[in-house]
Chain A
Amino acid sequence: MPLRKDIKKVLVIGSGPIVIGQAAEFDYAGTQACRALKQEGLEVVLVNSNPATIMTDKAMADKIYIEPLTLDVIKRIIRIEKPDSLLSTLGGQTGLTLSMQLAEEGFLDANNVKLLGADPLTIHKAEDRQAFKDTMEKIGEPCIPSKVVETIEDSVEFAKVIGYPVIVRPAFTLGGTGGGIAKNEEELRDIAKNGLRLSPITQILVEKCISGWKEIEFEVIRDSKDNCITVCSMENFDPVGVHTGDSIVIAPAVTLTDREYQMLRTAAINIIRELKVEGGCNCQFALHPESYQYSVIEVNPRVSRSSALASKATGYPIAKVAAKIAIGYTLDEIINQVTGKTYACFEPALDYVVVKFPKWAFDKFVYAKRTLGTQMKATGEVMAIGTSFEQAMMKAVRSIELGVDSMNLKKLEKLSDEELMKKLEEVDDERSFQVYEALKRGVTVEKLHEITMIDEWFLNKLLNMVNLEKWLADGELTEEKYLTAKNYGYLDSTIERMSGQKCPMHKQAVYKMVDTCAGEFKAETPYFYSTFDEENEAKQFIERTDKGRKKVIVFGSGPIRIGQGIEFDYCSVHCVWTLKELGYEAVICNNNPETVSTDFDTGDRLYFDPLTKEDVESIIATEQPYGVVVQFGGQTAIKLVKHLSDMGVRILGTQADSVDAAEDRERFDEILEKCGIPRPQGHTVMTTEEAVAAAEDLGYPVLMRPSYVLGGQNMIIAHSEKDIVEYMEIITRTMIENPVLIDKYMMGTEVEVDAICDGKDFLIPGIMEHIERAGVHSGDSISVYPAQTLSERIKNTIVDYTKKLALELKVVGLVNIQYVVYNHEVYVIEVNPRSSRTVPYISKVTGIPMVDIATKLMFGATLKELGYESGLYPVADYVAVKVPVFSFEKLHDVDTMLGPEMKSTGECLGIAHTFEDALLKGLVAAGFDLKKEGGVFITVRDTDKQEIIAIADKFSQMGFELYATAGTAGVLNRNMIATNHVNRVSEPEPNAINLLESGKIHYVISTSEKGRLPARDSVKMRRKSVERSICSLTAIDTARALANVLQTGRTIDDVELIDITKI
């Protein structure tokens, strides 16, 4: 059936801010869907609170609302826009849950809106635990013995029947939030309690634990004619027990015979047919390793993280096809874009293997509990394609940016055998490396299988790598050895290090095409991966399609992690679009399967490979580009600049020397001196002794960070020598070889500027001011555009400094500068001659296409020619407030206290005519439940006690009941603010923990001198707040801003919704 005639205007709900379990994959899916809908001539209305996405770009939809994803807001948008349809399955769990609520309430029917993608019954059958079980039973698909319960007692009762261990899975939570494995009743009570609270419908599933079974996934698509196909199978390296988002995954499944494979494939098809999903669906199975016995673990009746992976792994555009099915097309009508001749109704055949490797944030959260379980913890992932598992694995491990180029992890080498074996029994993020270390030490595959239940196939492959490395280290490095190692995916530099010898030759990588059909049909997909064969399909492709255009390579930003998120993908994609518009051939290199940049039709060509010097060299050799762009791919891309420049490759825009000048302390100081710009005093140190001396010279508190910074990685404020010693110990442990910077910490207002410079003139689209004072990482601060409190003199100074720095650093393109305003003086904190986290949002609010302009400047255009005056751009009609979003509930033992180290995973934007309204929107979008009554629990450090008085007073006047620990309560009561005294966590009960558990508290304001260590009182208290979903404010400024918003008396319903395409 072709396009349904009754569909003209479609509302698409995005997935909101990036959190663990719901990341960039939904920007990719949403973008594909919006494009597919627009191609059909449909009017698309989009709502998403995440400003860093490409889907919220003007090119993607006709009407765009960057508004909170709440039921009321969506209803208002539906009333304003009057769409005839709502697409429910492309905005992750968030979009699906909202759609379902709207349908169930009857709101959609009442407003004549059709639900596309899945009907409420389908969603109910797939997502409600009991309904799902009943449905599976009906079609004879086995489920794990389980029971849906709504009380802790019932869960304990059922566990007695099926026996421990049991798994607890809360209904309707993201990435399995609140779930866990309980080995005994005590643990079960704990987990069940938490799970029940986190489930929006207070429901958990208690099921028999089948840890150790193989975990296999299928991506299935079905259309209205009941045509069904499976796009891809995937097998987890880690058996059942580790969330699939936290597991290394290989596609296609490799340890299944055709019997087992077809058994599960048929099951997946039976399931999607019974659920009547029209579109994409993900089926997860547990397969007993020693029999045909299997169980259905979970079904997601929507596009998911796995479907993004499957799309990239096969070249089959699942989201696009799902969107077309939703509007009426059938699989046999949709052309397979890859071949241009065949249809979407087929199953891709792979002639390579794909390895997905998760990216965790434990390098930032040194005290976080690293164990993996049913709750996902990874923030992002990389994918690698190879002709063997070893090759793909080596590529993946390079792409993940852990500072390693093989499976050898230095810190594990130091462990004793006993320590290592003990670690293997706990499952954490380093398990694959631990297994590797154990294999190196001669532990047998059988033994490791027994401990970890990882399939022997994977273990033997790792053993192959161990043996190869031994072979390399043993005797002369022959050509045979070298070529074998290359085929195994080893870099020349790795081979040289392991063998201690120079490589006897150099083999350049060649490229093969991802074509969905294993070469059966001629394809023109410009999607390539490297191998070490002879035939170079990329080269053939380039020659065949040569139109005489100049080629430009854009390097992407790798995996999504804290500090380097989806914003950089936004920038990379925009750069590519502009390059195409300018008539260049735009080539993308990236390794993140969740992103728009790695969609094969975003650029003219896509190389899906690691972004290391050597990997990139081969791409350059094949492409012979006119130039390369590194300033949009975050630190991942900018790190390549020196090497590329040394290779003689033309760097477009700001040159390598400028990057070095901004990062090299001494050179940067010279520039500042020359320009007469002050910065907080500081020193560069290498050892703990030097650090202590430097801090004493500067005077505490001091700010400490490594010289190469990514998202404030490992940055702290040290108040004492003890802090410095602790810090230096951590930083040397995580093998950072660069010097450490120590600066005087200035507690002022933080201001951020993104500027565009053509070498002569400069443009500042806007100045952003942070609500939290310096000391809280800029990525974790609430950022306000335009600046609200700065005087004209200060603004002028900032403009002046920005100009001087941009010109002196010879910036061509984007530059991001962070300032601190302290005692009415402006100081520079940091200059990054590249794009930044704030570029997408400032572009959207000011209407200045920053990346597009920057790209044009790289090719010699001037700001004047493009119609921009030099200087600060006039202020927009709107105030925009960017509010960070955290994933603390997924990361146990992480202190939620904000500091110089970035902790947020995503962000939301509030746009309104006034600051208060914009902030209100931003907070609501970020998930703050802005209740106007209840209890406020306050416990602040001594230095904040004076400031908290006024804030507490505001809450008190609004009628909130105040509670505080002794010190804070004393100060407040002395200042005539009635406050209840509460015992600290370490004091006898009833104490703060009991209070938080009582449900009386709605807001917590907590600051402490020191944090991080999970054992501290304040950290425990803040963790408890997270677990109880209590709004927790850990900076005095955030608390004040929140109080101000509450005081306006306005709610989200009072604030106008804004279609940003009209800005």
Chain B
Amino acid sequence: MALFNKSEKAYILLADGTVLTGQSFGAKGTVIGEVVFTTGMTGYQETLTDPSYYGQIVVQTFPLIGNYGVNREDYESTKSYVSGYIVREWCNAPSNFRCEGNIDDFLKEQNIIGIHSIDTRSLTRKIREYGVMNGAITTEDVFAKKDELLKLIKAYTIKDAVHTVTVPEKCEYKAENSKYKVVLIDLGYKRNIREELLKRGCDVVVVPDRTTAEEIKAIAPDGIMLSNGPGDPSENTEVIKNVAEIAKLGIPIFGICMGHQIMALAHGAKTEKLKYGHRGANQPVIDLALDKTFVTTQNHGYAVLNDSVDTSIAEVSHINANDKTCEGVRYKNEKAFTVQFHPEAHGGPLDTSYLFDEFVQLMEEK
């Protein structure tokens, strides 16, 4: 509804045939994706640049987006991976000392199709009730080719997500006071995972998703980090197979989000798609060992099934306080632990960054 953001009409078409009318911002055209909502009230820039959103059209439940503009410093990767962006209102006069531009220009530059003046609450409730739904944003006449578009929407699936977003080749980052070397297996990693490691004196070697145990062994790292990433974890069969081998190297492993799921799958557990996922910065997670609850930032549509974890080799270490889904696994005979949430934050609370310390601790013990 921003008065001076008035522009041409844009539409959302959902898989159930619903058409929502709003106004265009960002790039123009038509895009199809999986429509998901995130409830974070800050951190829209981090969301836009988080590779885990690959293939998804993101709905912001907070109505005022772009208040503090955009800046290079807060990118979580080199570009935006979302397919489309849905907001109620974007701010054309952002204010912050680090602001370098507004979100409309950012989306245009990234060629992301956005739509504003949408009742995002109504849309969110719809997704909540029906579950994650495919949909499209278009700046073209939606009614003219609705059926055709609907067919495409219904047929849409996110495929080869991890392999699409991963780095093409190995790259290294030196820490200031380097004490350890960590291989970061890039399944779509957020920059702050790397930063948290560098901060703790770990040189980071980022490697592509399908790097094998052999190749990693050759690097001789002190620890292995399995990153977050987009899409259905189970489709990454090669990565899963590799990780099963990597786990046997005896090197400490820390997995986050997709990394957590891949690790579980590599150990015979199963994952399932959640009705509408966990996306936001306010998800309560219980650390069962500490019997404490932490507020975490999350972004995932799949979860490891609690009862599929083989208790002879691993145990569920964290659960979501709301729906009790698996939020972490600790491996019994390996120096490995994984979490579903994002201890690296960006955006969201920093309350679980101590997990990086634990990872460093594991490397030290080795």
Contact = CB atoms under 8 A, between A and B. Distances in A.
B199 interface: no
B93 interface: yes
Interface residue SS majority, chain B: loop
B101 interface: no
Interface in B15-50: 37, 39-43, 45-46
A342 B63 contact: no
Contacts of B321: 332, 342-343, 345-346
B288 to A, nearest CB: 11
B179 interface: no
Contact of B96 (A255, A345, A522, A533): A255
B284 A343 contact: yes
Contacts of B46: 258
Interface string B327-349: 00000000000000000011111
Contacts of B124: 351, 518-520
A352 to B, nearest CB: 6
B97 A289 contact: yes
A262 B343 CA distance: 13
Given A258-B347, A351-B121, A457-B93, A522 B128 contact: yes
Given A464-B2, A534-B119, A518 B39 contact: yes
Given A457-B95, A467-B4, A518-B61, A262 B347 contact: yes
Interface in A358-394: 387-389
A256 B280 CA distance: 17
B351 interface: yes
Nearest to B283: A346
B98 to A, nearest CB: 7
B282 A346 contact: yes
Given A227-B293, A262-B345, A518 B62 contact: yes
Given A332-B321, A347-B295, A255 B4 contact: no
B133 to A, nearest CB: 15
Contacts of A269: 351
Given A227-B293, A261-B42, A519-B128, A484 B3 contact: yes
B74 A259 contact: yes
A620 interface: no
Contacts of B4: 464, 467
A254 B3 contact: no
Contacts of A533: 119, 121-122
Given A255-B95, A349-B41, A332 B351 contact: no
A42 interface: no
B293 A332 contact: yes
Nearest to A519: B124
Interface in A398-413: none
Contact of B1 (A254, A341, A487): A487
A521 interface: yes
A346 B286 contact: no
A479 to B, nearest CB: 14
B97 to A, nearest CB: 4
B125 interface: yes
A281 to B, nearest CB: 16
A388 B322 contact: no
A574 interface: no
Contacts of B74: 257-259
B125 to A, nearest CB: 5
B349 A262 contact: yes
A43 interface: no
Contact of A257 (B98, B282, B283): B98
B305 interface: no
A266 B349 CA distance: 8
Given A254-B64, A349-B40, A518 B128 contact: no
Nearest to A533: B119
B41 A345 contact: no
Nearest to A465: B3
B293 A467 contact: no
A481 to B, nearest CB: 10
A251 B89 CA distance: 16
A445 B92 CA distance: 14
Given A258-B348, A347-B282, A471 B89 contact: no
A347 B347 CA distance: 14
Contacts of B293: 227, 331-332, 343, 345
A683 B155 CA distance: 81
B96 A257 contact: yes
Given A262-B349, A351-B121, A519-B61, A388 B1 contact: yes
B67 interface: yes
A388 B88 CA distance: 9
A348 interface: yes
A226 interface: yes
A350 B349 contact: no
Nearest to B71: A257
B67 A255 contact: yes
B224 interface: no
B291 interface: yes
Interface in A437-496: 445, 455-457, 460, 463-464, 467-468, 471, 484, 487-488
B53 interface: no
B292 A484 contact: no
B314 interface: no
A226 B292 CA distance: 8
B281 interface: yes
A538 to B, nearest CB: 13
B52 interface: no
A262 B344 CA distance: 12
B280 A520 contact: yes
A350 B64 contact: no
B359 interface: no
A252 B64 CA distance: 11
B122 A262 contact: no
B188 to A, nearest CB: 19
B167 interface: no
Given A519-B121, A535-B122, A227 B282 contact: no
B62 A350 contact: yes
A229 B43 contact: no
Task: Name which of A225, A259, A445, A520 has the most chain B CB atoms within 10 A of its CB.
Answer: A520
B322 A229 contact: no
Interface in A486-536: 487-488, 512, 517-522, 533-535
Contact of B42 (A257, A345, A457): A257
Nearest to B345: A262
B85 interface: no
A276 interface: no
B120 interface: yes
Contacts of B122: 533-535
A265 interface: yes
B213 interface: no
Contact of B97 (A225, A291, A517): A291
Contacts of B286: 332
B68 interface: yes
Interface string B234-277: 00000000000000000000000000000000000000000000
A1054 interface: no
A268 to B, nearest CB: 11
Contact of A387 (B63, B67, B346): B63
Interface of B: 1-4, 37, 39-43, 45-46, 61-64, 67-68, 71, 74, 88-89, 91, 93-98, 119-122, 124-125, 128, 280-284, 286, 291-293, 295, 321-322, 345-351
Interface of A: 225-230, 252-259, 261-262, 265-266, 269, 289-291, 331-332, 341-343, 345-353, 387-389, 445, 455-457, 460, 463-464, 467-468, 471, 484, 487-488, 512, 517-522, 533-535
Given A349-B61, A388-B2, 15 more contacts: A258-B42, A258-B46, A258-B347, A262-B348, A266-B349, A290-B97, A332-B284, A346-B282, A346-B283, A347-B281, A351-B62, A351-B120, A456-B95, A457-B67, A467-B4
The 8 A-B pairs of least Cβ separation, nearest first, read A258-B347, A258-B43, A460-B93, A457-B95, A518-B61, A349-B39, A347-B282, A519-B124
